[in-house]
């Protein structure tokens, strides 16, 4: 481990030696290590850049900027946990192709109502380079895939859990109310002593009192919270009542917009919730469904991504020349769930599909085969066979319950897993004045 770190740091060490020997040369500031994280490092330049980005986000939101020291510690902790996930991604061979990255950047620009050039200009006005934004999107894509492999894939929801949920009061509530929440988490270590719990309780109580006296919730989250979303002001987004622990849902049901809870004891600490907004669901829910079929061609150790794209193009041309889609799907498609059915996915909810597939499907004309496009799974051609809006059937209710239960388990499992990889990592903070012992 040490030899790898020395290799990474050698250019900095050589640069320092050259500067110290050049008596008459102008002194140039050097980048330095902010933290050692297992086999990698977080550099001060990374910390400074991310801190500036967070400060700009806070300023746009109109909140007060927390003390520089507290903000820097929060940002560094986020970078450490990101770095650990990126290292896992590298070890497990997760790669993001240029095509995937370009599609992701294009999607972000599109969702903000901009062309790619307008998106570049907007970043420039905010003092951010397009290259830095591109690299950050790539990092987030790798982290997302790491989480899918390490967290999402091991979550199981049984049929009995779904039935129990639908029969419960909470299951019925999840269609009727939804909350947009923010949180502040004051953590306690695993197997915490009573003194540690009391210390955390006092800190949570102090935070709550400051909030009651008018302190900005977002700023307090950034400076005090240990939650994964602390740098976003504690924003959790919209949550169905059924996604929340029953006690939380019952409490939120009696709250008004803008209210905050007193500190609530949870397994890993104390949490304070703020109800940002509340909205009710409709008893008669219509769901858009699409009848679609596709052919999936995957790159592998023998066939490169470019060769895979070429094969998908040839299949597309054969369909255009009159060959039967279903016959080609049975012969060539590498989606085991649909190949034997001629590529037919039947009626699907677009929200259950990956973004690239969903967007291609949304833009496709019925009965017209799309040109090949790429997702994380490989190269696809698809054809939309029909569209409809259906009432929420029993099957849809079960799928909705499955999603709610999976999301609930995912949130819990993600926090546990992030804490686990952080606790097991070798981390040495190198900030001036910080405790530099391995953590």
Question: pLDDT tens digits for 183-242?
Answer: 999 998 878 788 889 999 999 999 999 999 999 999 999 999 999 899 999 999 998 877
Determine, yes or no, domain membership for 44. yes
In the predicted structure, residue 272 carries a pLDDT above the cut 60? yes
CA atoms of 243 and 401, how far apart (whole Å): 9
CATH number of the domain to which 241 belongs: 3.10.50.40
- Domain finish residue from 153, 168, 202: 153
Phi, psi at residue 226, to the nearest 5°?
-105, 10
CATH of the domain at 145: 1.10.4030.10
**363 is a domain residue:** yes
The mean pLDDT value for 164-168 works out to 85
> Would you say residue 407 lies in a domain?
no
Q: Are residues 215 and 249 in the same domain?
A: yes
Q: Do 268 and 297 have their domain in common?
A: no
In a domain, 79, yes or no: yes
Q: Is 196 domain-assigned? A: yes
Count of domains forming the chain: 3
Are residue 113 and residue 202 in the same domain, yes or no?
Answer: no
Q: Which domain holds residue 385?
A: 286-392
107: Cβ contacts below 8 Å, ≥ 6 apart? 355, 356, 359
pLDDT value, residue 412: 84
Segment 144-173 mean pLDDT: 85
pLDDT given for residue 381 in this prediction:
97
Read off the pLDDT of residues 218-230 as tens digits, 9 standing for 90 and up: 999 999 999 989 9
Q: For residues 342 and 308, state if they share a domain.
A: yes
Cβ-contact 370, 357 below 8 angstroms: no
Verify that 214 and 298 share a domain, yes or no.
no
Question: Has residue 11 been placed in a domain?
Answer: no
pTM above 0.75, yes or no: no
In a domain, 139, yes or no: yes
Give the C-alpha distances (Å, rounded to integers) separating 250 from 170, 186, 242: 9, 22, 10
Report whether pLDDT(266) > 70.
yes
- Residue 422 covered by a domain: no
């Amino acid at each position: 481990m040490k030899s790898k770190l020395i290799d990474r740091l050698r250019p900095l060490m050589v640069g320092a030696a050259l500067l110290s020997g050049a008596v008459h040369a102008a002194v140039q500031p050097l980048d330095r290590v902010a933290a050692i994280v297992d086999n990698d490092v977080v550099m001060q330049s990374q910390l400074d850049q991310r801190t500036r980005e967070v400060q700009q986000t806070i300023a746009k939101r109109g909140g007060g900027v927390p003390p520089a020291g507290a903000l820097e510690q929060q940002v560094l902790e986020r970078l450490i946990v990101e770095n650990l996930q990126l290292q896992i991604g590298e070890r497990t061979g997760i790669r993001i192709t240029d095509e995937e990255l370009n599609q992701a950047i294009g999607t972000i620009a599109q969702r903000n109502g901009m062309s790619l050039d307008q998106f570049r200009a907007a970043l420039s006005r905010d003092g951010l380079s397009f290259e830095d934004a591109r690299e950050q999107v790539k990092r987030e894509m790798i982290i997302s895939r790491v989480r899918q492999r390490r967290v999402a894939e091991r979550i199981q929801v049984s049929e009995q859990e779904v039935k129990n949920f639908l029969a419960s009061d909470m299951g019925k509530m999840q269609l009727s109310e939804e909350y947009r929440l923010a949180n502040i988490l004051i953590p306690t270590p695993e197997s915490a002593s009573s003194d540690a719990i009391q210390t955390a309780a006092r800190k949570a109580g102090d935070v709550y009192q400051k909030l009651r006296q008018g302190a900005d919730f977002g700023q307090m989250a950034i400076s005090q919270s240990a939650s994964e979303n602390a740098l976003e002001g504690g924003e959790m987004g919209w949550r169905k009542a059924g996604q929340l622990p029953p006690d939380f849902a019952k409490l939120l049901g009696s709250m008004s917009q803008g209210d905050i809870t007193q500190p609530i004891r949870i397994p890993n600490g104390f949490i304070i919730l703020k109800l940002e907004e509340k909205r009710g669901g409709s008893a008669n829910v219509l769901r858009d469904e699409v009848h679609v079929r596709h052919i999936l061609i995957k790159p592998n150790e023998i066939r490169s991504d470019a060769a895979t794209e070429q094969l998908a193009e040839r299949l597309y041309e054969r369909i255009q020349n009159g060959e039967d889609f279903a016959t080609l799907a049975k012969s060539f498609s590498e989606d085991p769930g649909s190949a034997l059915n001629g590529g037919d996915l039947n009626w699907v909810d677009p929200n259950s599909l990956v973004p690239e597939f969903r967007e291609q499907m949304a833009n496709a004309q019925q009965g017209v085969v799309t040109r090949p496009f790429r997702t994380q799974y490989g190269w696809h051609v698809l054809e939309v066979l029909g569209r409809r809006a259906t009432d929420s059937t029993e099957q849809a209710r079960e799928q909705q319950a499955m999603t709610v239960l999976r999301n609930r388990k995912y949130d819990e499992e993600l926090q546990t897993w992030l804490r686990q990889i952080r606790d097991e990592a070798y981390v040495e903070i190198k900030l001036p004045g910080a405790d530099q012992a391995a953590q």
